[in-house]
């Protein structure tokens, strides 16, 4: 407990010194982080290989590329993001200065996830630094090699007091959550998300929770199945299915179920060859506990493809389940593994009803040649994000906020949305001490005449360019004289 108090206390003292606030300092730290990623690329790739069996190409494209892109965007755009944002004014404030100022929240906590252990720590960290905060970084202990590397590298490149790294498991995280933070961003499962939110509530700390859920994928009969299944296969089986926005299950008409299976099988062969286990592009389940959990989901199911497992290497082959009941065990929880159930539905109406009967997912996918059908599914359901005729790709567009809704999370980040998540939008109005007579309508004693003038100034809509400030000022003087 004492160690955590010291870490957070030093970060708060560093924040209160004011050194994280200047724009120049923030950009300097972001450039240092950029240099770290570039200079330590080999070490990062090696850690990801050790934790998740990610080959260099996949590790770079899944994790490093996204971090470098986020850094480049933030460094370029930060001056405009952080600039005061002028707002429209009413007649009573025409002569005043009114704007939204972005100020840092203070000391924030970023708790990363094990499935993408580098990018899911670095992207929130980038936004928090950009906003001018001190940041306590807690990488996931499950991906121990990447966690150890992050703890080793960050102090070499960033301000040690402002951006400390805390490693360890549940006891360390539990102690950390007893400390007071000004914002917490957590990526992980819903059960732990509830624990984080409960701990934050004791200090009235706002949270961003990036959780998960069962992200549905509806395939319409009017669809290019070969293309759809290739994109679904890529999104489902990348990182061995351990992606929070992977398509969790497929909804389709029974008449196309066998075609979907055949197309996915063909794509798996195209992606990973005849022997998936020996493919350098196919990852592994992170540990024995998760291996046993995912394997247990196969019990009692109709396996149309795959199903092979090897506990020693935490290997589970890409697996397709057919004719899955919505009430079966595999449909109860987020799979987070390379198992793809297909649930037959007879219509888009039935698909929508099934989706809406469950907790709101982090992502939703629809494949159809009919754009109106895609829009209908979007309008009649709710999810953190949605992609039509593809999967996962909304995550990579930094202008879109990434986040959940309901049980899949709250709040969002990426790009400017990260900066705003870790900033306080401060309402600022600066007046002068002149024209005091125009204020008489708000001072006691009250009268109907004052109310009428207040209604005129506050409710009337004028074209500022047409009427001019001179006329507005004149109206103010007239009102003051009339009230007097």
- Cα separation of 441 and 274, whole Å? 82
Q: Are 297 and 309 in contact (CB under 8 A)?
A: no
Helix or strand or coil: residue 392? coil
Concatenating the DSSP letter of every residue in 175-205 gives HHTTS--SEEEEES-HHHHHHHHHHHHTTT-
C-alpha span between 363 and 383 (Å, rounded): 6
Q: Which residue is catalytic, options 63, 144, 210, 283?
A: 210
**CB burial class (10 A; 0-12, 13-18, 19+) of residue 469?**
exposed
Per DSSP, the three-state class of 302 is: strand
* 244 is a catalytic site residue: yes
> Do residues 233 and 276 lie in contact, with contact meaning Cβ atoms separated by under 8 Å?
no
> Per the structure block, which two tokens stand in for 40?
């330590």
Residue 185: strand pairing partners: 110, 208
Cross-strand partners of 427: 100
CA distances from 41 to 33, 46, 144, 307, 364 (A): 12, 9, 17, 35, 33
Q: How far apart are CA 220 and CA 229, in angstroms?
A: 12
Q: How many residues belong to the chain?
A: 484
**Distance (Å, whole) CA 15 – CA 265:** 54
How buried is 117 (Cβ within 10 angstroms: 0-12 exposed, 13-18 middle, 19+ buried)?
buried
Q: Is residue 32 within 8 Å of residue 157, measured between CB atoms?
A: yes
Task: Please confirm, yes or no, whether 210 is among the known catalytic residues.
Answer: yes
Structure tokens at 386: 């949605």
DSSP code per residue over 326-356 = TTSGGGTS---SSEEEEEE-SSHHHHHHHHH
Q: Which of 217, 223, 240, 244 does the annotation list as catalytic? A: 244
Catalytic residues: 210, 244
């Amino acid at each position: 407990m004492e160690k955590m108090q010291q870490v957070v206390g030093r970060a708060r003292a560093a924040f209160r010194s004011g050194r994280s606030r200047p724009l120049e300092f923030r950009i300097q730290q972001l450039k240092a982080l950029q240099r770290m990623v570039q200079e330590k690329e080999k070490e990062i790739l090696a850690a990801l290989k050790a934790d998740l069996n990610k080959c260099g190409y996949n590790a770079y494209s899944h994790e490093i590329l996204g971090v470098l892109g986020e850094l480049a965007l933030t460094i370029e755009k930060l001056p405009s993001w952080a600039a005061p944002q002028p707002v429209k004014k009413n007649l009573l404030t025409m002569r005043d200065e009114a704007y939204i100022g972005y100020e840092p929240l203070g000391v924030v906590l970023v708790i990363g996830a094990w499935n993408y252990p580098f990018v899911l720590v670095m992207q929130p960290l980038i936004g928090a630094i950009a906003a001018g905060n001190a940041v306590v970084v807690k990488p996931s202990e499950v991906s121990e090699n990447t966690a150890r590397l992050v703890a080793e590298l960050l102090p070499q490149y960033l301000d040690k007091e402002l951006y400390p790294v805390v490693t360890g498991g549940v006891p360390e995280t539990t102690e950390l959550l007893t400390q007071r933070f000004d914002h917490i961003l957590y990526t992980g499962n819903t059960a732990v998300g509830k624990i984080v939110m409960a701990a934050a509530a004791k200090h009235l700390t706002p949270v961003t929770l990036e959780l998960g859920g069962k992200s549905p994928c509806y395939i319409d009969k009017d669809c290019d199945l070969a293309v759809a299944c290739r994109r679904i296969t890529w999104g489902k089986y990348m990182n061995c299915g351990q992606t929070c926005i992977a398509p969790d299950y497929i909804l389709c008409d029974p008449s196309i179920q066998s075609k979907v299976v055949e197309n996915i099988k063909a794509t798996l062969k195209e992606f990973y060859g005849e022997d998936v286990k020996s493919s350098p592009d196919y990852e592994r389940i992170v540990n024995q506990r998760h291996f046993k959990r995912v394997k247990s989901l196969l019990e009692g199911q109709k396996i149309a493809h795959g199903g092979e497992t090897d506990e020693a290497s935490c290997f589970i082959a890409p697996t397709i389940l057919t004719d899955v009941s919505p009430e079966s065990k595999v449909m109860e929880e987020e799979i987070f593994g390379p198992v793809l159930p297909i649930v037959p539905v007879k219509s888009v109406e039935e698909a929508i009803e099934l989706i809406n009967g469950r907790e709101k997912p982090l992502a939703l996918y629809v494949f159809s040649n009919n754009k109106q059908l895609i829009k209908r599914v979007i309008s009649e359901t709710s999810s953190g994000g949605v992609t039509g005729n593809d999967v996962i790709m909304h995550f990579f567009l930094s202008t879109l906020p990434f986040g959940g809704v309901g049980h899949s999370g709250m709040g969002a980040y990426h790009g400017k949305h990260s900066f705003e998540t870790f900033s306080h939008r401060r309402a600022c109005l600066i007046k002068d001490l002149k024209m005091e007579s125009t204020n008489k309508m708000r001072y006691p004693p009250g009268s109907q005449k004052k109310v009428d003038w207040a209604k005129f100034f506050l409710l009337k809509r004028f074209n500022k360019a047409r009427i001019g400030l001179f006329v507005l000022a004149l109206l103010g003087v007239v009102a003051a004289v009339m009230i007097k």
